[in-house]
A and B are shown apart, each in its own frame.
Chain A
Amino acid sequence: MNKNIKFIIIILFSLFVFFVFYKGLEKPKNYLPEKNLNKIETSLVFKNLNDQKEILLGDLITNNSFSIINIWASWCLPCRDEHAYLLKLRNINKIDIIGINYKDKKSNAIEFLSDLGNPYHEVLVDLDGTKSIELGAIGVPETYLINNKILVKKYIGPLDDAKFKEIINLIKNEKN
Chain B
Amino acid sequence: MKKIKLILYIFSFTLFFLNNLNAANSQQVDKISKNLRCLICQGQSVYDSQSDFALSMKILINKKINEGKNEKEIYDFLKNKYGEWIVYEPEISQNTILLWVIPLILFIFGGILIVRKVSIK
Contacts and interface: CB of A to CB of B under 8 A. Distances in A.
Interface of A: 29-31, 33-34, 37, 102-103, 128-130, 132-136, 138-139
B62 to A, nearest CB: 9
What is the predominant secondary structure among interface residues of chain B facing chain A? helix
Contacts of A129: 52-53, 55-56, 59
B63 A130 contact: yes
B60 A133 contact: yes
B69 to A, nearest CB: 13
Interface in B78-95: 80-83, 85
Contacts of B80: 37
Interface in B37-52: 39-40, 42, 51-52
Contacts of A132: 56
Nearest to B51: A139
Interface residues of B, number: 17
A126 to B, nearest CB: 9
B51 to A, nearest CB: 8
A134 B42 CA distance: 20
A43 B19 CA distance: 34
Nearest to B64: A130
Contacts of B81: 33, 37, 133-136
A136 B80 CA distance: 9
Residue from the set B40, B81, B85 with the largest chain A CB neighbour count within 10 Å = B81
Nearest to B80: A37
Contacts of A138: 39-40, 53, 82
